[in-house]
Each structure stands twice: as structure tokens, then as C-alpha cells.
Structure 1
Amino acid sequence: MSREDFKKLPISKKIQKLYMEGTFVVAIRYYSHKINLYLLGDDYVEVFYNHKHDRIDKIEYLNHQHTRMKFYLDQINFDL
């Protein structure tokens, strides 16, 4: 499945795909979210869980340019 096809999936199908084919890597806290990072194929995917509302707010591919990377870099070796 291409990145574009994954992006078009409804959130329930994204969750299913990550559960069946993804590998959990690490979880971080980021403002009001717990972000679970998964490896799906050769790409990393972030799942933004809002614990106050007990829901997943979004699922998106990891943006390697985002400031959140500093929270991952001390725990994971990315080949950038």
C-alpha cells in the first residue's frame, strides 16, 4: 500500500493496518497527547492518542523535520 493510499483510509482502517502489519516502536508524551510510534514497512507512523477524551485524534506519517524528532532521537537511531 502506498503512503497516499494509507492517508486516504478512514482512521479505523489505519488502526487495523497498524495493528496487523505495524510494529510498535516507542511512546512519548507530547502536550495533550500520548504519541505511539509504529514502523509500517519502511515508514514510521505516529498515532496521536488524546487521553483526556479517550480517543485517537489522528494518525499520520512521521515528519522528520518536526521538532518532535528530538523526543525520538535519544531513543531510536533513524537513518536520515
Structure 2
Amino acid sequence: MSREDFKNLPLHKKIQKLYIDGTFVVAIRYYSYKVNLYLLGTDYVEVFYNHKLDKIDKIDFLNREHTRMKFYLDQINISI
């Protein structure tokens, strides 16, 4: 599945794809979110879980230019 195909999936299908084919890497806290990082093939995918509302707000590919990377790099080695 291409990145574009994954992006166009509805949220419940993205969750299913990550559950079946993804590998959980690490979880971080980021503002009001718990962000779970998954490896899907050769791509990293972030799942933004809003614990106050008990729902997933967003699933998207990791933006390696975002300042959030520092939280991941403190815990794991991601090739940039």
C-alpha cells in the first residue's frame, strides 16, 4: 500500500492496518495527546490519542522535521 493510499483511508481502516501490519515502537506525551509511534513497512506513523476525550484524533506519517522528533530521539534511534 502506498503512502497516498494509506492517507486516503478512513480512520477506522488506518487503525486496522496499523493493528495488523504495523509494529508499535514507542509512546510519548505531547501536549494533550498520547502519541503512539508505529513502524509500517519502512515508514513511521503517529497515532494521536486524546485521553481526555478517549478518542483518536489523527493518524499520519511522522514528520521528521517537526520539533516532536526530539521526544522520539531521546528514547529510540530513528534514521533521519
1:4-43 aligned within 5 A: 4-43=4-43
Deviation at 1:78, TM superposition (A): 1.3
- Gaps spanning 5+ residues in structure 1: where? none
Question: Structure 1 residue 76: deviation in Å?
Answer: 1.2
Q: Which amino acid in 1 is paired with 2:62?
A: L
CA distance in 1 between partners of 2:22 and 2:7 (Å): 15
Runs of 4+ with deviation above 3 angstroms = none
What is the TM-score of this pair, normalised by structure 2?
Answer: 0.98
**Identity rate, percent:** 79
Cα offset, 1:10, TM superposition: 0.2
Question: What's the Cα RMSD here?
Answer: 0.4
Code of the residue aligned with 1:14 in structure 2: it is K
How far apart, in 2, do the equivalents of 1:12 and 1:78 lie? Answer: 27
Task: Calculate the TM-score normalised by the size of structure 1.
Answer: 0.98
Alignment of 1:1-80 (within 5 A): 1-80=1-80
Unaligned runs of 5+ in 2: none
Cα distance between partner residues in 2 of 1:20 and 1:3: 16
**Which SS does the other structure have where 1:47 is aligned?**
strand
Task: Write the letter of the residue equivalent to 2:68.
Answer: R
